[in-house]
Amino acid sequence: MPSRSLDPDGQLYVFGYGSLIWRPGFAHAAAHPALLRGFHRRFCIWSRIYRGSPEAPGLVLGLDRGGACRGVAFSVPGREAAAVLDYLDARENIGDEVVYARRLLPVRLLDSGRTVRTVAYVAERGSAHYCRPAAEEAARAIARGIGQAGANRDYLLNTVAHLRAMGVRDAGLDRIAALLPAAPGTPPDAG
């Protein structure tokens, strides 16, 4: 029910921590830098559709327990909440593959200091797609993964670039990006 998802100010807030940061896919009134405590961003979901295939699964980000995560809280007028939640539910959980649980979590808006009730999609640890690969394994999977939404490498590098533009460095993502082999067709460094 959308009304339960609204903050007391009447807005729907959606927390973006990965591709939602750079490709939300829904109209929003504002985008606020935000901090979520109790969860961290991690490549912990095997992707066999969006960023990989059944033969070469890729990895996508999830919010996993522990730590904290900087991201973006998008505010949406309450009257548009139902349509946005329908869109996000379909985007995050494809068909019967439930890999994320939609949760209402407190998020601090860093531009105002306010704490708002925010919809966030948290990794479902009970899913067969949940994983905790080491950085080296993650880099190998991301390097080869290509799915309906494009190359897994692009997903990682776009997320890292947009986080850096927000002044956020994610050590886990930076480590995986540093371990990626050169993209096919990339000329070797000249001397």
pLDDT at 191: 40
What is the mean pLDDT of the segment spanning 125-153?
Answer: 96
pLDDT at 190: 43
Give dist(CA 16, CA 12) in Å, integer: 13
Give dist(CA 102, CA 100) in Å, integer: 6
What is the mean pLDDT of the segment spanning 65-93?
Answer: 97
pLDDT at 186: 60
Please give the C-alpha separations between residue 86 and each of 14, 82, 148, 157, in angstroms, as whole numbers: 13, 6, 20, 28
At a CB cut-off of 8 Å and minimum separation 6, what does 152 contact? Answer: 47, 51, 52, 58, 59, 60, 141, 142, 143, 144, 145, 146
Tokens coding 54: 């059944």
In the structure, what pLDDT confidence band is assigned to residue 92 with cuts at 50, 70 and 90?
very high
Is the pLDDT confidence value at 57 over 80? yes
Give dist(CA 134, CA 15) in Å, integer: 26
> 108-128 burial string, b = 16+ CB within 10 Å, else e?
bbeeeeeebbbbbbbbbeebe
What is the mean pLDDT of the segment spanning 25-37?
Answer: 98
Confidence (pTM) = 0.92
Instruction: Kindly state the percentage of the chain with pLDDT values over 70.
Output: 94
In the structure, what pLDDT confidence band is assigned to residue 188 with cuts at 50, 70 and 90?
low
Tokens coding 162: 């947009």
Give dist(CA 71, CA 117) in Å, integer: 15
Evaluated on CA atoms 69, 74, 76, 80, the torsion sign reads negative
Is the pLDDT confidence value at 62 over 60? yes
